[in-house]
Amino acid sequence: MKLDAEFNILSRAILSLKTPEECEKFLTDLMTAREISSMAQRITVAELLRDKKTFSEIEEVTGMSSATIARINRCLQYGADGYSLVLDRMEE
């Protein structure tokens, strides 16, 4: 199966979820606890960066490395706007 086809299946699976409880069940089956935690931390970092928090403040709150924070910051500035899209919708 091509990566594009696999990505399409994953995207459709995510879009089929209707509640936070369904999302929790799916993510728990799909990923390890560490992977889920890492993804949640990345969203938190993106939110803190948008709130103009410093790297030091973000490191203290999340425990993420400055390298990871910098990568997320680059995504916010130059990426595909995925973080911004999600964060904007979460604010609605």
Q: What local confidence, expressed as pLDDT, does residue 2 receive?
A: 64
Residue type, 92: E
Are 48 and 61 in contact by the 8 Å Cβ rule? The answer is: yes
Instruction: Give the model's confidence band at 68: pLDDT under 50 very low, under 70 low, under 90 confident, else very high.
Output: very high
Asked if the model's pLDDT at residue 3 lies above 80, the reply is no
Proportion of the chain above pLDDT 90, given as a percent: 93
Are 75 and 60 in contact by the 8 Å Cβ rule? The answer is: no
Write b or e for each residue in 21-35: b if 16 or more Cβ atoms lie within 10 A of its Cβ, otherwise e. Answer: eeeeeebeeeeeeee
Q: Which residue has the tokens 């799916």?
A: 26
Rounded to whole angstroms, the Cα distance separating 82 from 28 reads 22
